Every structure is written in C-alpha cells, then in structure tokens.
Amino acid sequence: MDLEQILKYAPLLLEGLKVTIIISTAGILLSIVTGAVLVAMQRSGIRPLAVIVRIYTEIILGIPILVLLYVIYFVLPDIGLRLSELAAGLLTLTLYYSPYMAEIMRGAIDAIPSGQLEAARSVGMSRLQAARRITVPQALGLIIPPLTGISIGLVKDSAILSIISVHEFAFETKQVVARTYAPFEFWTFAAICYWTILFVWENGMRSLERRVTRYREAR
C-alpha cells in the first residue's frame, strides 16, 4: 500500500470520516426518538395507531434500505418534497432504523415486571424516583447490547448514502480512487478505518454495559 498517497489525501478522507460520524450519530439519536414514538403509538391503546405502526414495520423490514433511499430521493420530489442529499440520507437512516430501535425498547420495557414498579410506588417512591432507581438502571443493561448491534448496522449502512453523493467517508474514498486509480489500496484502507471505529465503539459500549450492570453483582 502506498502510504505517501494515503497521507496526501488524508485531509479529504478525514473530512469524509467526520461526516460519517456526524450523520451516524444523528441517525442513531433520531431513530431512537422515532422508535420511542412508534412504541408510544403502539402502546397508546388506540387501535388505528397500533395498526399503522405494524404496517410500517412490516414494510420497512421487507424492503432493502437502498430502495427506501431511492424512494425518498426520487419519489418525494414528485410530490413536491425536494430534500438535500444529506437530509434525504439522514431521513432514510432514521426511517429504516426506527422500527429496530422500537423493538429494542419494547423488549426492555416488557422484561421489567410491572410488580416492581408497583412495589416501588407502594414503599413511597415518587413516579420519577421509581423510574430513575428501578426502571432505568435495569432497562439500560437490557438496551445497550442490542443497541450496539443495531447502531453498528446503521454506521455501516451510512456508506450507502455515498450513492446519492452525500459527502461521507465512502464517497470521499470514491473521489480519491477516481483521482489516483488505486482502488484496491484505498478501499482496503477505508475498510480498516471503518473496522477501527466500530471496534472502538463496540468495546466502549461493552464497558459501558459492564458499568451500568454493576448492580447485578452487588446482589
């Protein structure tokens, strides 16, 4: 691998890496929020809302993310909604990953027996106290491992946004390849970068999980 060339194009690649990190972080946060809305709709007790969530989830699970990206990028302008590449990309990641996030939250909520909350209330804890001391600490331990997996998927899928020219890492790599014609070297380099970031992320989340589940050992 030609190290000199990589160093030469490092600033451009770094710029792309920054966009990848920003758009992934935004995508993770937005899909968590949207996922929470989906859970709330499903648990609202209003039938039509629950049905809408189910249909939406089925559709998303059934189509490839690239098709969703094209629908947002090509079909929405037909009905008068023209988004920038970045906005279309972020919307795609959010819409695609929110059902997965909803599933994680649903699982965590269901795993905590309602009796615990009732017990906490009956020993005189306020709602907020019960949430802070009983629900959240347990839910975090249940949410972090699947959240890590899903968020890794999201970061990897953010590379797909290069297809509609979002200036993220894969896009900048493609630009550099077009200029240097050293595709194998630069794509391998890109793979190493993604792998390193996700390795750090995965291990960080694992130690975070160990921290928030310390209560399990204290029993």
Partner 1 sequence: MFNLDLFYESVPILASAAIVTVELTVCSVILSLLFGTISVMLQLSKIPGGYWLSRTYVSIMRGTPLLVQLFVVFFGLPLLGIKGQAFLAAAVAIGLNSGAYTTEILRAAVQNVPEGQIEAARAMGMSTRQIWFRVILPQAFVVSLPALTSEFTIVLKSTPLASVVAVTELTYAGVVIQARAFSAVEIFLPIAVGYVLIALSFTQVSRWLERRFRLLHT
Interface positions with partner 1 (CB under 8 A)? 59, 62-67, 70-71, 74-75, 77-78, 152, 155-160, 162-163, 170, 173, 183-184, 187-188, 190-191, 194-195, 198-199, 202
Burial of 155 (0-12, 13-18, 19+ CB in 10 A): buried
Nearer to partner 1, 10 or 192 (CB): 192
Nearer to partner 1, 63 or 119 (CB): 63
Find the shortest distance in angstroms from Cβ 198 to partner 1. 5
Nearer to partner 1, 64 or 145 (CB): 64
| Per-position DSSP letters for 161-207, written without gaps between them | GGGGT--SHHHHHHHHHHHH--HHHHHHHHHHHHHHHHHHHHHHHHH
Nearer to partner 1, 195 or 215 (CB): 195
Find the shortest distance in angstroms from Cβ 46 to partner 1. 27
Give the number of other Cβ atoms within 10 Å of residue 31's Cβ. 25
Find the shortest distance in angstroms from Cβ 26 to partner 1. 18
Find the shortest distance in angstroms from Cβ 129 to partner 1. 40
Give the number of other Cβ atoms within 10 Å of residue 141's Cβ. 19
Find the shortest distance in angstroms from Cβ 29 to partner 1. 20
Nearer to partner 1, 40 or 59 (CB): 59
